[in-house]
Structure 1
Amino acid sequence: MELVTPEWGLVIWTSITFLILLVLLKAFAWKPIMSAITERESSIEKALLKAEAAKEEMARLTSENEALIKQARAERDQILSDAKKVKEQMISDAKELAHREGARMIELARVEINNQKAVAMADVKNQVAVLSIQIAEKVLQGQLEDQNKQDALVAQLLKEVTL
């Protein structure tokens, strides 16, 4: 039973030892422990503040990236639109140029055809004239071989000529 019910001397000496230990701990260990705890709290608080700042910075950067992506997409769409307009304008210009060039070539062909036609008509007229002269010459030769026919022709021509 001695262990369950201690003597008063033991209780007093244990209490005095505990109080001395408590005073020594308060004098030498309590301040360093409290300063370490305070320092740890402040470092945790700073880390939390830095984490919050980093989170806000990430949110800001994310929104900036999204804005840049939207702007890049808008610029891409504008560039594609401009390129499409330029392409359509180039096609339209090429078609018009081809149309004008075709019309010019058709007109040149018409002029050339008319020139060739005029040359051919002049050639045909010359050939007709030569053939007419040859035919008239042969006819006249046939009629003028006979002296009586020559005299009759001269008499007829004299009647037709009036002075």
Structure 2
Amino acid sequence: MDLISPDLGLIIWQTVGFAILFFLLAKFAWNPILAALEERDGAIEASLNEAEKAKMEMANLVAENEKLLQEARIERDEILKSANEYAAKLMEDAKGEAANAGAKMIEDAKAVIETEKQAALMDVKIQVAEMSLLIAEKLMRQNLSSEPAQKKLVEEFVKDIKLN
């Protein structure tokens, strides 16, 4: 029964032992334990701050990447637009040059045709003049006194004419 109802002397010695143990722990162990806990708390807090900072930096990097990507897309669209405009301009220029060249060729062909036409008309005029001179010469050589002689002469002229 001594353990259930302790003596006053046992209680005093246990209290003195506890006080000495408390004093030794407070003097030598309590400060290092508290310092270790504070250091650990600081390390955890710093890690959390670093993690939050890294999270914010990642968010900033993602936003910056999105911004750069958007700018690159806009620049790509502008480049494609200017390339399309340049290609359209080149095609329009080529069409214009082709139309001008075609018009020049047509004008040159018309000029050649007109020259050939004038040459052909001149040739026809010369032939008509030569024929007229031949007919006049033959008429002058023959004496056209009677109508049967005139008909005979016209028939001879018709036979002599060679159409080209």
TM bucket by the smaller chain?
Answer: 0.7 to 0.9
Offset at residue 107 of structure 1 (A): 0.5
Corresponding position of 1:104: 104
| C-alpha distance in 2 between matches for 1:30 and 1:92 | 91
Structure 1 match to 2:13: 13
Higher relative contact order (CA 8 A, sep 6+): 2
Q: Secondary structure at the match of 1:143?
A: coil
1:115 aligns with 2:115: yes
2:71 and 2:95 mapped to 1: Cα distance? 36
- Hey, what's the Cα distance between the residues in 2 that align with 1:2 and 1:125? 165
CA–CA separation in structure 1 for the residues paired with 2:27 and 2:48: 32
| Mapped partners of 1:76, 1:143: distance in 2 | 99
Distance 1:65 1:52 in 2: 20
Distance in 2, matches of 1:84 and 1:73, equals 16
Shift of 1:65: 2.0
Which secondary structure does the structure 1 equivalent of 2:88 belong to? helix
Stretch deviating more after TM superposition (7-16 or 38-47): 7-16
Q: 2:117 is matched by which residue type in structure 1?
A: K
> Hey, what's the Cα distance between the residues in 2 that align with 1:6 and 1:120?
155
The letter of the residue matching 1:84 is: N
Q: Tell me how far 1:37 sits from its aligned partner.
A: 0.6
TM-score w.r.t. the length of structure 1 is 0.76
Question: Which ranges in structure 2 are unaligned for 5 or more consecutive residues?
Answer: 145-164
Amino acid in structure 1 at the alignment position of 2:56: E
Q: Deviations over 1:3-55 (max 9, x none)?
A: 32223333222222222211111111111101101111111121122222222
Count of matched residue pairs: 144
Output the aligned Cα RMSD.
Answer: 2.1
What is the deviation of 1:75?
Answer: 1.4
Provide the rounded CA distance (Å) in 1 between the counterparts of 2:135 and 2:6. 175
**Percent identity over paired residues:** 47
Measured in 1, the distance between the counterparts of 2:51 and 2:59 equals 12
- Measure, in 2, the Cα distance between the counterparts of 1:2 and 1:139: 184
TM-score normalised by L of structure 2: 0.76
> Which piece of structure 1 moves more, 49-58 or 89-98?
49-58
